Amino acid sequence: MTDQGRGTASYRAPELLRPPATFDESVDIWALGCVLFELVSGQKAFNDDWYVQVYSRQDENLPVPLEAFVHAGARVPLTNLVHNMLSLVPDRRPRARDVRSVFDFICETGSFEPPSEAVGDLFSRICKPSANLGQVGSFKSIVFSVPYERNPYFAGRDDLLDTLFLELKEKRPNRYNHRIALYGLGGVGKTQVVLEYAYRHQSDYAYIFWISGVDRAELLSGFSRVARILRCGMSLTRREGIAKRVLQWLEVNESWLLIVDNVDDVDVIAGYLPQSDGSGHTIITTRNTNTAGIPAPGLEVREMDRDSGVLFLLQRLGAIDPSTELRGEVYQIVDAMGGLPLAIEQAAGYIKIPENIFTYLSIFNKSRRQLLGRPLVGNHIYTRTVLTTWEMSFARLQETRPDAVTLLQYLAFMNADEILVDYLRAGVIALPSALGTLIRDPFEWGEAINALQESSLIRVSSRDTKLSIHRLLQAVVQDGLEPATRKAITSVLLLMGEITFPKLTESRCDITICRKFRSQIVACLEHTKSSESNPSWIAIAERLAHFLYLEGMYSDASYWWGLLLSIRKETFEEEHENTLRCKFELARSWDGEGRNRDASLLNEDTLAIGKRVLGPEHPLTLDIMNSLACSYYDLGRYEDASGLYAQNLDLRLRVHGREDPKVLEAMHNLACSYRNLGQLQDASDLHAETLNLTLKVLGPEHPHTAVNMHNLALAYHSLGQFEEAAQLFADTSNLQTRVLGPEHPDTLRSMNALAVSLLCLGRLKQALDLHVDTFNIQKRVLGADHPSTLRTLACLEDAKVAMSRMQKVILAQPSDTKQLNPRTHHPQPLSVFGKTLHRFLIRSVLRRKVA
Amino acid sequence: MLSENEILNEFRAIKKLCVDHSHKNLVAVYRYGKLPDSLYYYIDMELCELNLEEYIHEFEFKLSSTSQELPSLLPLDTKSLMLIMRDVSRGLAFIHENDEVHRDIKPRNSNTSYSAGLTRSLIFNQT
């Protein structure tokens, strides 16, 4: 039969909507289903615009959950009947005579319970849940037995929820299908994710059940509750039997979702998980990463990403249109909580209104433990606090693997994001013997790591390379330690730092180790800051700061030197040699950072003290003098610089002898100041001499050699020998990339200088590209207002001007020449232009101080 | 649009099912045809007091104004719902048993004759 456009829109079966609309008497059943729905609920099952709903799939749900309107006894059969009558598949709708029989029976007996065999069969046939999983037009669950309300503040996690749905639906060989274990650290939001999943996917399941899996008793009473809802196993008295009956029911029925929350002890659910081969799904939440024991494929719930966390906290605080200031503070709090939703929730519970937010972090830093252990007030899904949930994990671990707990205590003082196993191994001698044995023994190590990982306390990217740990967890572990234990661990870790992190010598042979362990050492120092007057702490911090300076990380270096200086000032006299050394190093780092004026003032001060206290020929005094000259030089005070350099060179020659690196440094510096005073030939000769000596003393692969090459090249450039300069600059930047790395400030300076030389050679495009690259890296590494960055920007502007002039010259050609064959006529205008450009460039570049 | 023949065929089907209370849950149809010299068709059928749409959606209104006139319909409880559904599904089952498809089941087309205490399905679509 074909339809000729009859029937009212709201009651039309979906097959009538899609041409060619073929149908049979089942369209009447659809319509009757709509009538039944409307009779029961007083509302239409579908609106008149339901075409739009079906086609756009925007609203798969009926306007109201039907079961709300039906009295308890009729709820299950009646809602099932409606769902079946409104099946999208016409063949699945019941026949009219069967519907009639059911209603005849109900009206005769006044009961919804099928007593006799024949009617019972009919009943169960047409009143069983429909298998509409995932289809358009399916409805809210018939049974939605979830004990918690939807969390209105839920934010983010869309990817995880989608993955969860797909994973549950998918069927793959060699694994447990339609069953997923969500695992992750306590407080990371596993329960919230499942809760949101249940609410989002109400339309995909006919039955949704929520059972707590904390222990066997909870699990069994959960199954009993399900049994009461399903009216099965009512005659049984033993709860185990009832649970088994529920499992049987689940196995023969379709379209259900069973959630077992908080299964930390795998044994609790052993034998109590239903099998499913299709539309019945099970989700388990657990802190145990070893989900194979459940058994179920695992899916990790991680911390919230920064933006979701911020959104979550803002929503929780009811800050609809937050100011930039407030938003910044929220970012900081989310970072401090490490994106852990429960911790953010607790923070929100404490802060309450946005106005209170600005004091929170300082309170938190002072009373971390109290705040993390502060229970949430009000009717809340989660009764545990971050503190209690983790302390439960520790207690459990203490019973099974006490050595893992000890290990965790040490990990609590390390680099949260990345703990290198190599670092632990390198410093193993420093550790207590039991822990040392644990780390050395591959089997025991693997077991301990597994134990920690299984309670989701750490995350392991690979057992033998990297571990990570949540920073809030670190805080909780640290705070839970006895002061004595804490002190012992601190001193062990400092010793470990001393062993693993070498002091960089002139030969720089340890640079790779330093680079590898840098972040470990920074974390070690940060975590042990309370004992910062400890000599080991100071020694490590000095090594680190020195290394950072050599790596060109000037702002980091000056942070550490500043810190060290304040510690030194407390322990030593203002004029002690160590204090002076700190000041000298700090000034040097400031110079690198571009804070030349501060540096010169500090150096002047230090030099005066040094001369008086240490004597004018003390190596440190000479270093300070050199450093002061450098500050002057960077400030453009070349006369002052040159005088000091010359004086410094004399003194150093006398103290160190001719072939000492320090002397070479002084010679080189003097040459630089000659160049800037316009004594180009002297400069170039002295540079060449210094370079030769440096090659002899330090070898070709040394940063000092590179600096010499750079400055010799500058001298060539100033003499107008652009070819030679460009060649030497290129060699220099290659050498520096090799030795210092591609993003070291010195490397960038050479690249910039190379670009200037290229510009002067007329290779505009190349020069411009190089400038742009350099500028971008400098902006990132040094900051946008660092002098080097600004210099590069000025050069970049020059190059742009040059480019635009070239274009103007080309555009200014008479129009007829433009139409000539470009290949034959290209050389002529360009060469004419080239000369003009060259003259312009030399003038503009020489006007500007190069590098 | 339906042609004249098609319309009369429909009527014939309706008449076959409904004439003279052949089923108590279908509205009785007495006569049908085309009005002479016009474009209108007519059907002559049983008068029903209330259709289900009114029953569902205007119930509250009626309750306040003329509640004493509708004693048998009060209250809108499960039992009366089941009775209505029984009647409508009986009518529909009869139609299907006669190899016809109603194609326009909706509350407006289900009429209640409360004098008889029965709900009857109307087999006609007022186009």
Q: Determine phi and psi for A280, rounding to 5 degrees.
A: -100, 125
* Best to test chain A binding among B76, B77, B96, B122 (most A CBs inside 10 Å): B96
Range list of β-strands (E), chain B = 29-34, 41-45, 50-51, 110-113, 118-121
Contact across the interface for B84 and A39, Cβ inside 8 Å: yes
- Can you tell me the distance from the alpha carbon of A65 to that of A485, in angstroms, rounded to the nearest whole number? 59
Q: How far apart are CA A107 and CA B84, in angstroms?
A: 10
Both tokens assigned to A258 = 């069973």
pLDDT at A284: 92
Q: For residue A613, give every residue at least 6 positions away whose Cβ sits within 8 Å of its Cβ, in sequence order, or none.
A: A575, A577, A580
Q: Please list every residue in chain B whose beta carbon sits closer than 8 Å to the beta carbon of residue A28.
A: 92, 95-96, 101-103, 105
Contact B82 A38 (CB under 8 A): no
Distance from CA of B42 to the nearest CA of A (A): 18
Q: Which of residues 41-60 of B touch A (CB under 8 A)?
A: 52, 56-57
φ, ψ for residue B103, nearest 5 deg: 70, 0
Q: Closest residue of B to A25, CA-based?
A: B101
A103 contacts in chain B (CB < 8 Å):
82, 85-86, 89-90
Beta-sheet pairing, A207-212 with A143-145: parallel
How far away is chain A from the Cα of B35, in angstroms, using its nearest Cα?
A: 23
| In the predicted structure, residue A812 carries a pLDDT above the cut 80 | no
Nearest beta carbon to residue A106 from set B82, B97, B102: B82
pLDDT at A356: 80
- B74 contact A CB<8A: no
Which DSSP letter does residue A22 get?
B
> What is the average pLDDT score of chain A?
79
A95 to B92: CB separation less than 8 angstroms, yes or no: no
| CA-based torsion, A16, A18, A21, A25: positive or negative | negative
Helices (H) and strands (E) in chain B, counts: 4, 5
What are A391-417's pLDDT values in tens digits? 888 888 888 888 888 999 999 999 888
A846 has a pLDDT exceeding 60: no
Chain B, residues 103-122, CB within 8 A of chain A, namely: 103-108, 110
Across the range B106-117, mean pLDDT stands at 63
Give the C-alpha separation, A720 to A684, whole Å. Answer: 12
Q: Which amino acid is at A253?
A: N
Chain segment A527-541, per-residue pLDDT in tens? 888 777 788 888 899
pLDDT higher at A658 or B92: B92
Of residues A35, A71, A106, nearest to B106 (C-beta): A35
CA distance linking residue A721 with residue A666, whole number of Å:
25
CA distances, A312 to each of A157, A326, A333, A347, A526 (Å): 11, 14, 12, 11, 29
3-state class (DSSP) for residue A751: helix
Whole-angstrom distance, CA of residue B4 vs CA of residue B120:
27
Chain-chain contact of A36 with B102 (C-beta, under 8 angstroms): no
Angle, helix A117-126 to helix A72-85, in steps of 10 degrees: 60
Instruction: Return the higher-pLDDT residue of A555 and A3.
Output: A555
Chain A hits for B105, CB-CB cut-off 8 Å, are: 11, 28, 31-32, 34-35
Is there a contact between A6 and B125 if contact means CB atoms under 8 Å apart? yes
Cβ <8 Å between A27 and B101: yes
Pairwise CB contact (< 8 Å): A31 & B105: yes
Q: How confident is the model at residue A258 (pLDDT cuts 50, 70, 90)?
A: very high
pLDDT digits (tens, 9 = 90+) for A457-488: 888 877 678 888 888 888 888 888 888 988 88
Q: Which among B82, B96, B104 has the least Cβ separation from residue A96?
A: B96
Q: What is the pLDDT of residue B21?
A: 54
Q: How many helices (H) and strands (E) does chain A have?
A: 38, 9
The pLDDT confidence band at residue A8, using thresholds 50, 70 and 90, is: low
Give the predicted TM-score (pTM) of the model.
Answer: 0.60
Using the 8-state DSSP alphabet, how is residue A137 labeled? T
The class level of CATH for A9-126 reads mainly alpha
DSSP class of residue A477? H
Put simply, the answer to whether A39 touches B103 (Cβ < 8 Å) is no
User: How large is the angle between the packed helices A442-454 and A386-400, nearest 10 degrees?
Assistant: 150
Exposed / middle / buried, residue A292 (Cβ in 10 Å: 0-12, 13-18, 19+): middle
Alpha helices, DSSP H, located in B24-108 = 52-57, 59-66, 78-97
Distance between CA A46 and CA A12 in Å, rounded?
9
Its sign, for the CA torsion A462, A467, A470, A473, is positive
- pLDDT at residue A7, as a whole number: 54
**Chain B residues in contact with A76 (beta carbon < 8 A):** none
The tokens for A423 are 């670092």
Closest Cβ opposite residue A97 in set B83, B93, B108? B93
Which chain A residues contact residue B63 at CB under 8 A? Answer: none
- Kindly list the residues of chain A whose beta carbon comes within 8 Å of any beta carbon in chain B: 1, 3-4, 6-8, 10-11, 23-25, 27-29, 31-32, 34-36, 38-40, 42, 70-71, 74, 95-97, 99-100, 103-104, 106-107, 110
Q: Is B2 on the interface with A (CB under 8 A)?
A: yes
How far does the CA of residue A103 sit from the closest CA of chain B (Å)? 5
Report pLDDT digits (tens) over A33-63: 888 887 777 677 776 555 444 433 333 445 5
φ, ψ at A461 (rounded to 5°): -80, -35
Lowest mean pLDDT among A73-77, A137-141, A331-335, A793-797: A137-141
**pLDDT tens string A103-139:** 888 888 777 776 666 666 677 667 765 544 333 333 4
All residues at 6 or more sequence positions from A798 whose CB lies less than 8 Å from its CB, including other chains: A759, A841, A844, A845, A848
Q: How far is CA A331 from CA A153, A335, A338, in A?
A: 17, 6, 10
> What are the residues whose beta carbons fall under 8 Å from the beta carbon of B39, sequence distance 6 or more?
none
Strands A419-420 and A256-261: unpaired
When pLDDT is cut at 50, 70 and 90, the band that residue A832 belongs to is: very low
Looking only at the bridges linking them, the beta strands covering A280-286 and A256-261 are parallel
Q: pLDDT band at A157, cuts 50/70/90?
A: confident
Of A71, A96, A100, the CB nearest to B78: A71
CA atoms within 13 A on the CB side of A9: 9
Q: Which long-range contacts (C-beta less than 8 Å, at least 24 apart) are formed by A776-779?
A: A777/A742, A777/A743, A777/A748, A778/A745, A778/A748, A778/A752
Least confident interval from A219-228, A339-348, A419-428, B101-110: B101-110
Q: Are strands A143-145 and A179-183 parallel, antiparallel or unpaired?
A: unpaired
| Chain A closest-CA separation from residue B116 CA (Å) | 17
The CATH code of domain A143-300 reads 3.40.50.300
- Of residues A473 and A16, more confidence is placed in A473
CA separation for the pair A740, A709 (Å, rounded): 15
Cα–Cα distance between A242 and A250 in angstroms, integer?
12
Amino acid letter at A457?
A: L
Is there a contact between A40 and B81 if contact means CB atoms under 8 Å apart?
A: yes
Say how far apart CA A710 and CA A695 lie, in whole Å: 14
- A3 neighbourhood in chain B, CB within 8 Å: 103
**Angle (CA) A325 A330 A336, round 5°:** 130
Q: Which residues lie closer than 8 Å to A31 by C-beta, 6 or more apart?
A: A7, A11, A12, A13, B102, B104, B105, B106
Distance CA B18, CA B23 (A): 7
**Residues found in chain B:** 127
Output the pLDDT for position A831.
36
Distance CA A263, CA A213 (A): 5
What CATH superfamily is the domain A700-851?
Answer: Tetratricopeptide repeat domain (1.25.40.10)
Partner residue opposite A96 with nearest CB, options B86, B93, B127: B93
Domains and CATH numbers, chain B: 4-121 (1.10.510.10)
Count contacts between A and B (CB, < 8 Å).
Answer: 98
**pLDDT at residue A738, as a whole number:** 85
